[in-house]
Amino acid sequence: MAKYIIVSGGVLSGVGKGIATASIGKILSEYGYKVTAIKIDPYINFDAGTLRPTEHGEVWVTNDGGEIDQDLGSYERFLGIDIPKSNNITTGQVYKAIIDRERNGEYLGETVQFIPHVPEEIKNRIKKASKDYDITLIEIGGTIGDYENVPFLFTAKSMERELGKENVVYVLITYLPIPTHIGEMKTKPTQQAIKLLQEQGIMPDIILCRGKEPLDDVRKKKIETYANIQRELVISAPDIKVLYEVPINFEREQLGLKILSKLNLQPKKKPDWKEWEIALNRLKASEIVRIAMVGKYVDIGAFTFKDAYVSINEALEHSGARVGLKAKIDWVDSKTLEDKDPAETLKNYDGLIIPGGFGATGIEGKISAIKYARETGTPFLGLCLGAQLAVVEYARNVAGLKDAHSIEINPKTPYPVVDLLPTQKELLAKSSYGGTMRLGAYAAVIKADTVVYKLYQKENRIVEDMQQKLSPESLGEVQNFEYVIERHRHRYEISPKFHEALEKAGLVFSGYHQRQDGTKLVEFIELPKHPFFVGTQAHPEFRSRFLNPAPLFIGFMEAVKKHIEKRVD
């Protein structure tokens, strides 16, 4: 029998529901169960692809090309599995499916109504996503009490009725504030969240209490009395420095066994946290290195928005845990590098990353940062736009192609080293704009004896990736070669017209994807004589996991380690 854990949040958003869900999943998989997770986003957008990053943080890209909520990233990083786009359910998808069906006459004249049609559609989606798993976590976005949550809570309640209480467990995540003028942790907002949940007929089975401090006994007792649940089911979840410690913390209160018992399940095996703890300890004890992430940053009020690069931060944590370094990331606004010598800012860093991006803002600042990294031997990793700009910089300053550019930024450049392919141009002319994006997993053939090859080889990723199932389009014509798989989200490509000139000037193209129509698309570039200068058209950060860091990030951090050995300060 499939089992479900419904995770909802009270009091306020942004208290780490995604991490808590991912951690519960990890714990249950350590007890021997096959676990997956679903994220429900109650907004009307079909997916997160069109959401402004300042609105919603990073857009997470799945293997099957979904552009969705970043919580799926946390699930993948903790659970170590690939999660498809159908595990992100939005109100928009649910209503669109129902309306499309109605327009096709599939309801045979029935009145289509909120009840039963909406919960039925949600349930079908949940059942499909959980088909091959023992336990499915369902995180409901937003906060209890939001109008838009109601259909999903209603569905949960109806699943409980259909499947039986022992198959549907509710976890409520709340927040206990400590107002500075009182200096005491307050339980009232939590009491109110419990009440709001009860209005939907739901009694929480477990309450996870987030807060700056651990929950003391007095407060546990208060919540016990108010929610009418045993004290040991009220779990303290204080702030911690390293996210990957959350499952270990939960297990200190035996959360896994408590949930299993609610689900009427026995542990199938003894959890083994050894590898996880080794990585965690390495990370906690690590030496700090300074990484500059040169990008376009938007200020929101008095705060700078950094959530747009969560996966890169995490990939740096993972690779840091591997090589014994802790990356302290500084977000450097590339605009600030435009009218000065970039060395003034960048000399303070041990490594440089240019992340993905769209549009023209701050581009020249990024290019001059790349030039600095290339000339000074500072470890450099270019991700998607970062790789494209590394090609632009090399074309301009080494290959002598004056004013070379990406046509995304300068459509009139004499040397469009980053361009749209003819087939993409046809699509654009027909104005199917969305269709020109390369999205999701693609196979890339990698050239022997390159830095990139060695890194993937060492992590066993060539063998592993070649066993993965891919659609014919994602696989392309690579079967006769050694290849790896990474995820993509971009429109422009490094133009084949300039490969020869750039190669002659010393740039190495270390990997390519070959489409079914024979077109070769550059996936990796590198400079062999540089301590570490690698760019990729892909986003390897999307496949980085705590225990399986992305090979290119490992290479970058290893180079940073060597770089700091030379540091004099």
Distance CA 338, CA 294 (A): 12
Binds ligand GLN (CB under 6 A): choice among 356, 365, 540, 555: 356
Secondary-structure percent of the chain, ordered helix, strand, coil, rounded to 5 = 45, 20, 35
Q: From 148-156, 351-359, 469-477, 551-559, give the range in contact with ligand GLN by CB under 6 A.
A: 351-359
Distance CA 414, CA 293 (A): 30
Q: From 154-162, 334-342, 470-478, 486-494, give the range in contact with ligand GLN by CB under 6 A.
A: 486-494
Distance CA 20, CA 139 (A): 10
Taking the complex as a whole, the smallest distance from the CB of residue 420 to ligand GLN amounts, in Å, to 9
546 binds ligand GLN, rule: CB under 6 A: no
- In the chain, the amino acid numbered 529 is K
- Which C-beta is closer to ligand GLN: that of 291 or that of 385? 385
- Which C-beta is closer to ligand GLN: that of 159 or that of 384? 384
- Which C-beta is closer to ligand GLN: that of 159 or that of 385? 385
| Helices and strands (H and E) in the chain: how many | 21, 23
Three-state secondary structure string covering 164-214: CHHHEEEEEEEEECCCCCCCCCCCHHHHHHHHHHHCCCCCCCEEEEEECCC
384 binds ligand GLN, rule: CB under 6 A: yes
Query: If you count them, how many residues does the chain have?
Result: 569
487 binds ligand GLN, rule: CB under 6 A: no
DSSP structure class, residue 149: G
226 binds ligand GLN, rule: CB under 6 A: no
φ/ψ of 9, rounded to 5, equals -125, 145
Q: From 141-149, 272-280, 485-493, 511-519, give the range in contact with ligand GLN by CB under 6 A.
A: 485-493
Distance CA 190, CA 209 (A): 8
Q: Give the count of alpha carbons within 13 A of 367, CB side only.
A: 21
408 binds ligand GLN, rule: CB under 6 A: yes
**Which one of the listed residues 76, 541, 558, 563 is annotated catalytic?**
541
Taking the complex as a whole, the smallest distance from the CB of residue 491 to ligand GLN amounts, in Å, to 4
Residues from 276 through 335 that contact ligand GLN (CB under 6 A): none
Binds ligand GLN (CB under 6 A): choice among 165, 358, 501, 515: 358
Binds ligand GLN (CB under 6 A): choice among 491, 499, 515, 545: 491
310 closest CA partner among 90, 45, 9, 59: 59
DSSP codes of every residue in 413-459: -SSEEEE--HHHHHHHHTT-GGGG-EEEEEEEEE-TTSHHHHHHHHT
513 binds ligand GLN, rule: CB under 6 A: no
φ/ψ of 300, rounded to 5, equals -115, 110
Active site residue 541: yes
416 binds ligand GLN, rule: CB under 6 A: no
**Which one of the listed residues 117, 318, 488, 539 is annotated catalytic?**
539
Distance CA 168, CA 42 (A): 20
**Which one of the listed residues 384, 393, 488, 563 is annotated catalytic?**
384
Q: From 30-38, 149-157, 238-246, 354-362, give the range in contact with ligand GLN by CB under 6 A.
A: 354-362
Residues from 492 through 511 that contact ligand GLN (CB under 6 A): 492
- Which C-beta is closer to ligand GLN: that of 371 or that of 491? 491
Binds ligand GLN (CB under 6 A): choice among 490, 513, 543, 561: 490
288 closest CA partner among 351, 381, 245: 351
Taking the complex as a whole, the smallest distance from the CB of residue 495 to ligand GLN amounts, in Å, to 12
Distance CA 280, CA 546 (A): 9
- Which C-beta is closer to ligand GLN: that of 492 or that of 546? 492
Q: From 180-188, 461-469, 489-497, 518-526, give the range in contact with ligand GLN by CB under 6 A.
A: 489-497
Helix (H) or strand (E) holding 291: strand 287-295
Q: From 138-146, 207-215, 264-272, 350-358, give the range in contact with ligand GLN by CB under 6 A.
A: 350-358
357 binds ligand GLN, rule: CB under 6 A: yes
Range list of β-strands (E), 480-552:
483-490, 493-494, 508-514, 520-526, 533-536
Q: Give the count of alpha carbons within 13 A of 330, CB side only.
A: 16
385 binds ligand GLN, rule: CB under 6 A: yes
Active site residue 384: yes
Nearest-CB residue for ligand GLN: 356
Question: Pattern 438-477, binding to ligand GLN, x per CB under 6 A?
Answer: ----------------------------------------
Q: Determine the size of the site formed for ligand GLN (CB under 6 A).
A: 10
Helix (H) or strand (E) holding 26: helix 17-30
CA angle 86, 89, 94 (to 5 degrees): 110
- Which C-beta is closer to ligand GLN: that of 489 or that of 561? 489
- Which C-beta is closer to ligand GLN: that of 524 or that of 546? 524
Taking the complex as a whole, the smallest distance from the CB of residue 62 to ligand GLN amounts, in Å, to 15
Taking the complex as a whole, the smallest distance from the CB of residue 488 to ligand GLN amounts, in Å, to 8
Q: From 188-196, 242-250, 292-300, 356-364, give the range in contact with ligand GLN by CB under 6 A.
A: 356-364
Look at the alpha carbons of 75, 77, 83, 86 in this order and tell me if their dihedral is positive or negative. positive
Three-state secondary structure string covering 231-274: HHHEEEEECCCCHHHHHHHHHHCCHHHHHHHHCCCCCCCCCCCH
Which residues are marked as active site? Answer: 384, 539, 541
Binding site for ligand GLN (CB under 6 A): 356-358, 384-385, 408, 489-492
